[in-house]
Amino acid sequence: MNLLYEEGGDIKLATVQSASGSGDAESWQATSLSGKKIKLKAKEVWLRFEKPEAQAVMDEAQTLSKDIDLQLLWDCAPDEEFSLVDVAMEYFGAQASIPQQVALAIALQGAPVFFRRKGRGRFQRAPLEQLQAGLAALERKQKELEQQGVWQQELVQGIFPETLKSSATQLLFSPDKNTSAYKALIAACTETGESPAQLMIRCGAIESPLAYHQGLFLKAHFPNGAAHHESIGVDQSAYDAAIAQLPLAEVKAFSIDDAGTTEIDDALSVTDLEGGGHRVGIHIAAPGLAIAKDDPLDQVARSRMSTVYFPGNKITMLPDSVIEQFSLDEGAPRPALSIYVDIDADGQVNQASLQMRAEMVPMAANLRLEDLEHLVSEESLLDDGAAYPFRKELAVLWKTAKLLHAGRQEKRIANGLRAEQLGVTDPNALARDFYFEVEQINGEEHVEIIPRQRGSVLDTIVAEWMIFCNSASGQLLADYGLPGLFRTQKGWGPLRTRMQTTPGPHEGLGLDYYAWCTSPLRRYSDLVNQWQLIALAQHGVTAKMVAPFPPRDATLMGIAADFESCYQAYGEYQDRLEKYWCLRWIAQEGGSRTVYVRHLKEGMSRVELVPLHIPVPELAAHPRMTQAQVLIADVDLLQLGAGVRVLEIEAPAKIAEEIVENPAEDGSPQ
């Protein structure tokens, strides 16, 4: 005997091997057409028959079911609930064969629009209104499938459908996977063997691999776009009110930055003291005077956490109008939070003289590294005939900068770390700083990557005095019991360097306290600390009562965690785009380039001329800094990879290896 039953929504047949029980309690041990051993109960069986053979019945039924007119079947069916046998007699007549009945079972089971399932082998036809709605939905679905097929073929041919162009970015970066457009894209990718990004670039929907990398980042961190809303800013009346009571500082301040810096956060001044010695001022742009906690500008800055830097462009934390108001641009007094400290004739710092105040600082000049760096040397600072601006002030700052550096190295050594070298590193060392210059040449983007060695006199002056400012700010916050965002480094492991709301040492820099505060126009951590410091400058010992963030403030703890996460993501994006432009630099000279690399560890090497890290497995067993000449070709700007062929392996480069702990934290200009 053979049995008709349903399993997992499919109609199936099985041949009985043995039976037990009787009536409603009857059950069978049977073998399905696939050879599976199953047990069926009477209530699970739709139909029983002896002949024909089960496989022959199923083969014929599959063919017959395709010709069944579902509309006619619906017309033949009674209004009340019915069984398979009942409707078979109406549709095929009283002599309906077993294959015909099985075909009807397949048709009924596969037509939920026409018939509702009421139980095993029992159905009821759908009401007319629901049937019409269901048929309309099926028609729409069919049209969608046809449209999907058309789109798929266009994509395969390299044509991006016109109707999808307005949603191309969403289709790639945040698709609705249930749409026909997405299904067509994935089907086309399956057919061509491409990734969605590759196919959309080939079709012209995405301009380039660079647009893909940028779009991926913007989708994750700036889903509403990177531009600032025009309505967000500090209006002139609020700006005037914020600076109205600020005293005018009796200094001539100057900043030192590279030519690309537009957010001038910090400046320096040197004033002679009676009886010898000097007073050094570190002046920090003070947007915290006009931006209040939780106001619209704060919400913008908190959502962004930092300016995003990458080759060829940047995404600013604050709107351009606010930057223009508070950037320490030359030519007029600018609002600043100043830290002053006295130094004697030998350059020694008098820590007891430390003072801080909010004021208007006359900005005498914005010095640019490119214009001045090659002129400033230890020798020229002592030469009265040297003709460059602020030579005397720079000489004073340099003398103390060397002492500050030496003091930090003593603490580094006490912490078990190697002392850092002062001044320019070995000229054969791998450069760590690079300037990416991207420009249009004959309609195509061309990149020049210019290495820049750290350690010049100007570098050291800026770095040491900004480190001093951050350290002094951290000490002031700690001394007055104010929480802040402290940058700490202690011990080893993944959490060695972190942001926290309570004071702690920074072993890598050799400091007891370190709180970022010198870049409030481009880092939210610095703006937060500036609010706390402004409260301290204006209220002294009562600052705790008025500071925006009281001790153990949960909001501040959340900001610390969010800043760490965001700052890391921005850094990874900068690294990713730097790698992209390094590969563009490789490929723009005929598609390949012969370069020298230095082995670092475990087969990973770095190109000498640019900050490109690439795997060279042949160097895995060689010592660190082994030099090799390689050919880099087959550049993939989408996957950010390339093929490398070793041409020659040379002896390890004999250089003084530079050990730098967290180089981005030394306060030098970015």
> 41 forms bridges with which residues in the sheet?
27
Q: What counts of helices (H) and strands (E) characterise the chain? A: 19, 24
Distance of alpha carbon 73 from alpha carbon 108, whole angstroms = 9
Strands 626-636 and 593-601: antiparallel
Q: What is the pLDDT of residues 286-305, one digit of tens each?
A: 999 999 999 999 999 999 99
What is the sign, positive or negative, of the torsion defined by CA atoms of 575, 577, 579, 582?
A: negative
Distance of alpha carbon 399 from alpha carbon 470, whole angstroms = 19
pLDDT at 667: 44
pTM metric for this prediction: 0.79
Minimal CA–CA distance to 479: which of 558, 533, 546? 533
Other CB atoms within 10 A of residue 285 CB: 30
Distance of alpha carbon 307 from alpha carbon 573, whole angstroms = 12
User: Which range, 178-187, 278-287, 432-441, is most confident?
Assistant: 278-287
Two tokens, residue 496: 């060695």
What is the sign, positive or negative, of the torsion defined by CA atoms of 191, 197, 203, 205?
A: positive
Tell me how far CA of residue 340 lies from CA of 345, 410, 414, 484, in angstroms: 16, 24, 28, 20
Can you tell me whether residue 617 is helix, strand or coil? helix
pLDDT at 495: 65
Q: What is the pLDDT of residues 32-49, one digit of tens each?
A: 998 999 999 988 888 889
Cα 591 to chain centroid distance, Å, stands at 29
Q: How many residues does the chain have?
A: 670
- Concatenating the DSSP letter of every residue in 317-368 gives SS-HHHHHHHS--TTSEEEEEEEEEEE-TT--EEEEEEEEEEEEEEEEEEEE
Distance of alpha carbon 134 from alpha carbon 581, whole angstroms = 54
- Could you tell me if 12 and 2 are in contact, meaning their C-beta atoms sit under 8 angstroms apart? no
Q: What is the pLDDT of residues 392-429, one digit of tens each?
A: 999 999 999 999 999 999 998 988 888 888 876 665 67
Distance of alpha carbon 153 from alpha carbon 159, whole angstroms = 9
